[in-house]
């Protein structure tokens, strides 16, 4: 009995072992049917997750040599371009350049990238595929600095259509040169251009063109600059020739900027005009007030010098005269002439006082007679006039001793007989002194300086505005 039981147990274990080996063998050979997931019964299958041996490539990138352009050896490949300007970041007069951020898009056809698609939909890729295929080698002519944005990743997009058409887009910030003419600054308008061109391919290999003509350039309506008004954006194209390499297609993005004048009116023109008007105040100051008139003239001259220096510090060192230079330097000349005017007045006053002093030394008897008619002539009379005032005809000539005696007597009598009119004579003499202290040059300067400055402003603003 024990022997029989052991035999049955041995056979049972053997059968279990054989069945387990068969099951493992079926699993290794793939003959075991596993339950199918429910998501495989959906209509839209994700083909990228189904692997049948080696993964299938949608674009046959490894099967072609993309170091050569499409249709190499044949006609030139047309490459369309369109641009969307995102912003004009800055305009620099000192460096004569501008900075622009834009979306640059290229359109061409490469049959090596064609693929079969039942839905005829395009495929979109990022910048990693760009390094594996051929793309146009467009660069910015006369650019100083440029870069492709890479936050948070490279701002590059590649879209491939089933028939091989390609859209290649990137976001770029470029700083390019702009030849500016400052002859009318700050009443000027500037026209700048951003130029695009193929670096390696001549017009026989690559034909660069605007895809939709003038509609190929689009701008953001919110673009604005602090000092300029953007008047116009437009596109042009032409051929550029290099003697060593040949002809190339070149595209132009042209835009016109007009400068805002209000800032310069407040910072330059109004202060300069006020300094000129302030220099005219010295024409109403007494000519004997030397410290007042000299300090006022020097202050206005130094202020004009500061204004001119400040304006030129923010401008390039050009070799021609700007409109603002004409205005400032003419204003400076007016201020300087007002200083010279007082120098002339002061000199003539000194000469006149010197003559009066000599006459007083010549006729010492009249020094204290302030109310006589003879003194009102301020010493500027001849011998015949003195005899006439003393009561003698012009034809009667007296000796020197007789003349002095008669004049003294006449002046004494005149002072006694005119005692009733003393107050009226004092008032008249005060007005006469005020008129006498105001030199003729000051009187004429009060009219001539403003008239000429107004005339200059009329001509200036009619020519440059």
In order of start, what are the domains of the chain with their CATH numbers?
A: 77-259 (2.70.170.10), 263-356+456-464 (1.20.58.390)
Contacts of 166 (CB under 8 A, 6+ apart): 106, 107, 108, 109, 110, 113, 158, 159, 160
Each residue's pLDDT tens digit, 179-204: 999 999 999 999 999 999 999 999 99
Give this prediction's pTM.
Answer: 0.66
Closest listed residue to residue 227, CA positions, set 185, 176, 174, 181: 185
CA–CA gap between residue 375 and residue 210 (Å, rounded): 93
Each residue's pLDDT tens digit, 244-290: 999 999 999 999 999 999 999 999 999 999 999 999 999 998 888 88
Tell me the DSSP string of 368-409. T--SSHHHHTTT---HHHHHHHTT--TT----HHHHHHHHHH
Residue 440 has a pLDDT of 84
Residue 239 has a pLDDT of 95
Average pLDDT over residues 442-449: 92
| Degrees, nearest 5: CA angle 50-52-53 | 135
CA–CA gap between residue 115 and residue 121 (Å, rounded): 10
Mean pLDDT value across the chain: 80
Closest listed residue to residue 379, CA positions, set 350, 410, 411, 353: 353
Q: Is the Cβ–Cβ distance between 183 and 322 less than 8 Å?
A: yes
54 pLDDT band, cuts 50/70/90, is: very low
Check pLDDT > 80 for residue 300.
yes
Tokens describing residue 193: 């251009």
301 pLDDT band, cuts 50/70/90, is: very high
Distances from the Cα of 197 to the Cαs of 42, 102, 158, 217, 254, in angstroms?
Answer: 50, 16, 20, 16, 15
| Degrees, nearest 5: CA angle 197-198-200 | 145
CA–CA gap between residue 147 and residue 152 (Å, rounded): 15
Residue whose structure tokens are 């042009």: 236
Each residue's pLDDT tens digit, 409-442: 343 334 444 444 545 544 555 544 444 555 788 8
Average pLDDT over residues 23-30: 55
Tokens describing residue 456: 């200059």
Closest listed residue to residue 142, CA positions, set 108, 97, 187: 97
Q: How many CB atoms lie within 10 A of CB 193?
A: 17
Check pLDDT > 90 for residue 405.
no
| Degrees, nearest 5: CA angle 406-408-410 | 65
């Amino acid at each position: 009995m024990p022997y029989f039981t052991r035999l049955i147990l041995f056979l049972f274990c053997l059968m279990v072992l054989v069945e387990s080996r068969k099951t493992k063998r079926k699993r290794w050979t793939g003959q075991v049917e596993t339950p199918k997931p429910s998501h495989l019964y959906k209509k839209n299958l994700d083909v990228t997750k189904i692997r049948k041996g080696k993964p299938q490539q949608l674009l046959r990138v490894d099967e072609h040599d993309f170091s050569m352009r499409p249709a190499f050896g044949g006609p030139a490949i047309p490459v369309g371009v369109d641009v969307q300007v995102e912003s004009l970041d800055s305009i620099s007069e000192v460096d004569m350049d501008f900075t622009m951020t834009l979306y640059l898009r290229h359109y061409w056809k490469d049959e090596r990238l064609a693929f079969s698609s039942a839905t005829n939909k395009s495929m979109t890729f990022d910048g990693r595929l760009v390094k594996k295929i051929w793309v146009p080698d467009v660069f910015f002519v006369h650019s100083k600095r440029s870069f492709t944005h890479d936050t948070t990743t490279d701002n590059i997009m590649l879209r491939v259509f089933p028939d091989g058409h390609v859209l290649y887009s990137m976001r770029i910030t470029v700083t390019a040169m702009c030849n500016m003419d400052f002859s009318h600054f700050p009443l000027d308008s500037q026209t700048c251009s951003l130029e695009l061109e193929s670096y390696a391919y001549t017009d026989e290999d690559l034909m660069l063109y605007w895809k939709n003509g003038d509609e190929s350039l689009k701008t953001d309506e919110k673009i604005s600059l602090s000092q300029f008004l953007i008047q116009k954006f437009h596109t042009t194209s032409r051929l550029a020739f290099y003697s060593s390499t040949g002809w190339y297609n070149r595209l132009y993005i042209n835009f016109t900027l007009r400068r805002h004048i209000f800032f310069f009116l407040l910072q330059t023109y109004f202060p300069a005009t006020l300094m000129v008007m302030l220099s005219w105040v010295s024409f109403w100051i007494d000519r004997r007030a030397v410290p007042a008139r000299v300090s006022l003239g020097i202050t206005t001259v130094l202020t004009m010098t500061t204004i001119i220096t400040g304006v030129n510090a923010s401008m390039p060192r050009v070799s021609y005269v700007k409109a603002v230079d004409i205005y400032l330097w003419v204003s400076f000349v007016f201020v300087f002439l007002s200083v010279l005017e007082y120098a002339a007045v002061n000199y003539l006053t000194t000469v006149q006082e010197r003559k009066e002093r000599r006459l007083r030394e010549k006729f010492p008897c009249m020094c204290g007679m302030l109310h006589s008619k003879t003194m009102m002539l301020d010493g500027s009379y001849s011998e015949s006039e003195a005899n006439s005032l003393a009561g003698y005809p012009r034809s009667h000539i007296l000796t020197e001793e007789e003349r002095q005696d008669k004049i003294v007597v006449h002046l004494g009598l005149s002072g006694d007989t005119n005692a009733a009119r003393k107050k009226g004579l004092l008032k008249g003499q005060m007005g006469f002194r005020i008129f006498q202290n105001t030199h003729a040059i000051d009187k004429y300067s009060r009219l001539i300086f403003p008239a000429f400055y107004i005339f200059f402003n009329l001509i200036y603003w009619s020519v440059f505005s």
